Amino acid sequence: MAKTVGIGITGGIAAYKIADLVSRLKKDGHEVIVMMTAAATNFITPLTMKTLSGREVLTDLWNEAQGFNVQHIDVAEQLDLLVIAPATANFIAKMAHGLGDDLLSTVVLANTAPVLVVPSMNTNMFENRIVQNNIAILQDYGYHFLEPGSGHLACGTAGRGRLPEVQDILHRIEELLSPKQDLKNKRIMVNAGSTREDIDPVRFITNRSTGKMGYALAREALSRGAEVILVSGPSQLAVPVGVRFIPVRSAQEMCEEMLKYQADCDIIIGAAAVGDFRVARVAGQKIKKTEDKTRQVVLELVENPDILKELGKRKTEHMIMVGFAAETENVLENAKKKLLSKNLDLIVANDVTVEEAGFAADTNVVTLIDRAGSCRPLPKMSKDEVAAAIIDSVVALL
């Protein structure tokens, strides 16, 4: 079905590739409203975009000929999707901090449709922590991102920062224009992040998990219509808007909370890196150093409950349960054992020794294994894309 797509072009060299994108969206029958920042008009002319989109290109907040200054509200109301491509570091920063000082940034603020951001810039700029933090802020607000590609860049260097292929941008646009609602009327509980096991009032044992994978799963399930309970260990990530959020600290606490809600859930996904051990006797006071430098401080550890195993014992006939297997060797074999021992339907096998996979990374490399023995290795993907693939497999099992 024809939709209205806003294309916001900002000042990057990849702006010229957006001519092809606009042309192909038109061929697919969509209405396209092109907006350009002043910087973008240095890279490609509004006339090109006007000719391809078949309508006036909007560049100026204060241009009466373009309909004067409430135009940004009118435009925003018409959009089914807003795409910012290429998105420069500067424009990403403006969006992340709510600035509205030109036509496109005011449309972004007034817009209530989904937003797809397609960054493209020099590798060092893209990897700059400030830019990455701004991207993380926007992701927390629910903005969708397409990862830039790697290769030769216009600035003469090679690396991450290329605009993805127009075909890939089109594909993501179509996905966002017709979102799947295949988890409607389903309740899903996801656990995420690490747990903390106290040693004394100031120290604890934890692990490297940040919660990215579990939070991505919660966002994906929400966007596909599910009611989502997110049980999370301590995490720096923003809580996705719309989830029922249950913050916890220790593995035991996480287990108790999940057992409370299990019976009401259709799907349970264990993405948390649950601490397997806790300190047998937590010291009431801070453990002090002494003059005796030969003294050994020994922590006695006892095993925590295996949360998924406990939930697996109480699983009902139509409940789907998914776990992860963080492995450093014999990945598939160990994952299959965990699938059976925890009574799961699907396990996401994760070789945590692979670069850009596992804990704290933005990407992941996993294999999905189900009870019937099917084994689907996925290429390296963003954690959002892995989340979508996992939810697809869950839907297929429902």
Question: HEC profile for 289-314?
Answer: CCCCCCCCCCCCEEECCCHHHHHHHC
**Segment (H or E) for 171:** helix 166-177
Shortest distance, position 365 Cβ to ligand CTP, whole Å: 15
Shortest distance, position 317 Cβ to ligand CTP, whole Å: 21
**Structure tokens given for 290:** 């002494």
Shortest distance, position 240 Cβ to ligand CTP, whole Å: 19
Cβ distance to ligand CTP smaller for residue 122 or 304: 304
Shortest distance, position 374 Cβ to ligand CTP, whole Å: 19
Q: Which among 155, 255, 265, 375 is annotated as catalytic?
A: 155
Shortest distance, position 260 Cβ to ligand CTP, whole Å: 15
CA 47 from centre of chain: 36
Active site residue 155: yes
Cβ distance to ligand CTP smaller for residue 240 or 275: 275
Cβ distance to ligand CTP smaller for residue 4 or 334: 334
Q: How far apart are CA 362 and CA 379, in angstroms?
A: 14
DSSP 3-state of 11: coil
Cβ distance to ligand CTP smaller for residue 304 or 382: 304
Q: How far apart are the first and last CA of the chain?
A: 28
Cβ distance to ligand CTP smaller for residue 104 or 331: 331
Give the alpha-carbon dihedral of 15, 85, 83, 356, to 10 degrees.
160
Cβ distance to ligand CTP smaller for residue 11 or 270: 270
Q: How far apart are CA 334 and CA 17, in angstroms?
A: 46
**Structure tokens given for 93:** 């920063």
Residues that bind ligand CTP (CB under 6 A): 251, 270, 272, 274, 276, 304, 306-308, 323-326, 338
Per-residue DSSP letters for 243-277? SEEEE--SHHHHHHHHHHHHTT-SEEEE-SB--SE
Shortest distance, position 341 Cβ to ligand CTP, whole Å: 8
DSSP 3-state of 145: strand
**Structure tokens given for 181:** 């609602």
For residues 214 and 229, the answer to whether their CB atoms sit within 8 Å is: no
| DSSP tag of 82 | E
Sign of CA dihedral 90, 92, 95, 96: negative
Q: How far apart are CA 311 and CA 258, in angstroms?
A: 8
Cβ distance to ligand CTP smaller for residue 71 or 250: 250
Q: How many alpha carbons lie under 13 Å from residue 51 in its C-beta half-sphere?
A: 7
Residue 352: which residues within 8 A CB-CB, separation 6 or more? 326, 327, 328, 358, 359
For residues 188 and 227, the answer to whether their CB atoms sit within 8 Å is: yes
Shortest distance, position 186 Cβ to ligand CTP, whole Å: 20
Shortest distance, position 348 Cβ to ligand CTP, whole Å: 8
Cβ distance to ligand CTP smaller for residue 79 or 368: 368
Give the bridge partners for 349, in sequence order: 325, 367
Q: How far apart are CA 326 and CA 358, in angstroms?
A: 8
> Which residues belong to the active site?
155
